[in-house]
Chain A
C-alpha cells in the first residue's frame, strides 16, 4: 500500500478520480457506519404504508444497525435502535408485525412502541431477595431513538441531532420530484431482496450513473425505454448527495446507438408479447423514467408505471442487501395494478434491466480489490456536479463523492 492510501488521501484530481481502496478498505467501512449511517444523514426506513395502523412495526436499518420503525397506539411514527437496554440483545426478531409492546426474549424486559423501557422482570426481586438496587437506572441505557420525518409517505430517520430538516437536506427540486411520484396514498405490491456481491457505494454509484443505463441494459435501449438521445437530464442538489435522472417517454427514433455499433442496441430483437411494455402516462408530464437517489442509500424509482423504493443495506465490506419494495396507489384500478405487476418484469433480481446492475457492480468489486491504489475515471461531462440537460455525464456520481468526502472528512 502506498503512503497516500495508508493516510487515505483523496487524489489531487478531485471528484473526477475515485481511488479503488474506497471499496476495499476495512477501516473505512467501519468509519462509514459511524460517520455516515449514524451521522448527520437521513436514511430511508420504510413506506408509511408498511405501518398500516396503530401498534404496528417494521424492522429497518441505519447502515448495519438494526432499527425498529413503529406506529404507536396514538398513531405517531417512532423509530429506535433494535437493542435491549439490559444486555444488548435484539429486541424485535420479526420483520414486521402488530404488538402493543415489544418484549425482549432474553430476560423479558418490555418496551412501548416508542422505544421506552416500560418493565424490568423481577426488578424488585422475589420475597425481598435479589432484584435491582432502588437507585439503578436501566432506562438510561435504553435504545437510542431516531428523529423521524415523513415526506409524502416515505419515512426517513436519523440518529444525529445535527442533521438538517429533511426538506433542507434534500433541496426543493428533490422534494418536488418525490412528491411528483407519491401522488396518492401508497399501496404495497410486495418486495424482495437482491444480495449484491459488492460494497454498498458501488451500487449507489450505479444508481447515479446516468451514462451506463442505456449502454449496459440492452432492454432499455432496444425498446427505447431509455436512450441517451431521448430528452432528459440530471438534477443534482447542493450537497451532491441527492439526484434525479429522468427521460421523456417520447420515442425520438434516432439511430445513434445502431450507427455507433453499441452492443445494447439490437435491431433484430423483438418481443413476441409486447404487452409487457404497455404503459400509461399516469403522471401526465410525459416523463417515462425517473430515478431518484438520496445519500447515503435510498432510491425512488419510476420506470414507466413500475414504482419502487430501494433501500441499500451494507452487510459487510463486500456484501450489500438491496431491499426492494414495490407499490402502487390505493386509487389504482385493476388495469393499472396489472400494468405495474407486468412491468415489474423489468426490475428486481430477475428484472430484464435490474439483474444486470447486480452483475456489473460485482465485476468492479472483484477487479478493484486487487488494485486499491489505482483510480477510476469519472470524467464524462467534465469534473463538476452541476445539473445538466443531458445524461451523457457522470455528474451525479461525482455528486455522490462530493457528499461522501464531506461526511468522511476525506
Chain B
C-alpha cells in the first residue's frame, strides 16, 4: 500500500469537507482543476446509466457561479452541513491521476437548531497527483444513496 498516496487523498477530502462545513464556500472551486467536473446524482440514475444530475458543472467558473448564486441570488434558510467521510478505496493511477471512492454522511443543521441526517452516498473521484502541486479533483461525482432530497440542496455536498 502506498501510504503517501493514501495520505494525499485523505488530506484532500478532509480539507474539502472542512471548507464546506465551515461555510468557506469561496474556497470550494479551488479544490478542482480549471476544467474540473462536479456533479451530484442519485444511485438510481447512476445504476440505470441515466445522465441526469441535480448539479452539473464542467469548470471552476461554473462552480464559482453556483457560490455566487448561493451568496447573492438564491433564497434558502440559513443552514450548515457536517460531513463525515471515510472508507476510502484507492483505485488505479492513470496519466498522473488516481481514482478514489469514499463514503460520506452529511448532517444538516438548520438555523432553528434542527439537525437531521440529510444525505448519504459516495464520492467517485479522479484526483491529480502529478508533481509537487496540491492534489485537486479532475472529476468528483457525488452519488446519493436516496433519490429523495428534503426541501432543497443549496450548499454543495
The closest CB in chain B to the CB of A359 belongs to B76
Task: Report how far A31 CA is from B153 CA in the complex, Å.
Answer: 33
Q: Cβ of B77 and Cβ of A359 under 8 Å apart?
A: yes
Among A189, A193, A326, A359, the residue within 8 A (CB) of B149 is A193
Task: Report how far A197 CA is from B152 CA in the complex, Å.
Answer: 10
Of the listed residues A192, A349, A355, A358, the one surrounded by the most CB atoms of chain B closer than 10 A to its CB is: A192
Task: Report how far A293 CA is from B41 CA in the complex, Å.
Answer: 26
Is A196 in contact with chain B by the CB < 8 A criterion? Answer: yes
B76 surroundings in chain A (CB, below 8 A): 355-356, 359
Task: Report how far A355 CA is from B77 CA in the complex, Å.
Answer: 11
Task: Report how far A218 CA is from B74 CA in the complex, Å.
Answer: 7
Segment with Cβ contacts to B, from A6-14, A83-91, A139-147, A338-346: A338-346
Task: Report how far A272 CA is from B29 CA in the complex, Å.
Answer: 13
A345 surroundings in chain B (CB, below 8 A): 55-57
A143 CB, min distance to chain B CBs, angstroms: 25
Q: Cβ of A349 and Cβ of B153 under 8 Å apart?
A: yes
Among B40, B64, B151, the residue within 8 A (CB) of A197 is B151
Task: Report how far A360 CA is from B76 CA in the complex, Å.
Answer: 9
- By the criterion of a CB under 8 Å from any partner CB, how many residues of chain B are at the interface? 35
Task: Report how far A213 CA is from B57 CA in the complex, Å.
Answer: 24
Q: Cβ of A341 and Cβ of B52 under 8 Å apart?
A: yes
Q: Cβ of B61 and Cβ of A348 under 8 Å apart?
A: no
Tell whether A218 pairs with B73 under 8 Å between CB atoms, given A276-B62, A350-B55: yes
Q: Cβ of B147 and Cβ of A189 under 8 Å apart?
A: no
Tell whether A219 pairs with B74 under 8 Å between CB atoms, given A192-B42, A195-B149, A350-B149: yes
Task: Report how far A337 CA is from B62 CA in the complex, Å.
Answer: 19
Tell whether A266 pairs with B74 under 8 Å between CB atoms, given A190-B52, A194-B151, A273-B61: no
Q: Cβ of A352 and Cβ of B69 under 8 Å apart?
A: yes
Interface bits A196-231 vs B (CB < 8 Å: 1, else 0)? 110000000000000000001011001000000000
Tell whether A195 pairs with B56 under 8 Å between CB atoms, given A218-B74, A355-B76: no
Interface bits A353-391 vs B (CB < 8 Å: 1, else 0)? 001101110100000000000000000000000000000
Task: Report how far A296 CA is from B61 CA in the complex, Å.
Answer: 41
A41 CB, min distance to chain B CBs, angstroms: 25
Q: Cβ of B148 and Cβ of A195 under 8 Å apart?
A: yes
Is B111 in contact with chain A by the CB < 8 A criterion? Answer: no
- By the criterion of a CB under 8 Å from any partner CB, how many residues of chain A are at the interface? 39
A192 surroundings in chain B (CB, below 8 A): 42, 45, 52, 54, 147-149
B151 surroundings in chain A (CB, below 8 A): 194-197, 349, 358-359, 362
B75 CB, min distance to chain A CBs, angstroms: 5
Is A188 in contact with chain B by the CB < 8 A criterion? Answer: yes
A359 surroundings in chain B (CB, below 8 A): 75-77, 151-152
B128 CB, min distance to chain A CBs, angstroms: 21
Is B59 in contact with chain A by the CB < 8 A criterion? Answer: yes
B59 surroundings in chain A (CB, below 8 A): 273
B94 surroundings in chain A (CB, below 8 A): none
Interface bits B105-118 vs A (CB < 8 Å: 1, else 0)? 00000000000000
Among A190, A269, A273, A342, the residue within 8 A (CB) of B48 is A190
Contact residues of B between 69 and 83, Cβ < 8 Å to A: 69, 72-77
Q: Cβ of A349 and Cβ of B54 under 8 Å apart?
A: yes
A344 surroundings in chain B (CB, below 8 A): 52-54, 56
B56 surroundings in chain A (CB, below 8 A): 341-342, 344-345
Other CB < 8 Å A-B pairs besides A197-B150, A349-B152, 5 of them?
Answer: A190-B53, A218-B69, A269-B68, A349-B153, A350-B152
Q: 28 A-B contacts, Cβ less than 8 Å apart?
A: A189-B51, A190-B50, A190-B52, A191-B147, A192-B149, A193-B147, A193-B148, A194-B148, A194-B151, A194-B152, A195-B148, A195-B150, A197-B150, A219-B73, A269-B72, A272-B64, A326-B52, A341-B52, A341-B53, A344-B56, A345-B56, A350-B149, A350-B152, A355-B76, A355-B153, A358-B152, A359-B76, A359-B151
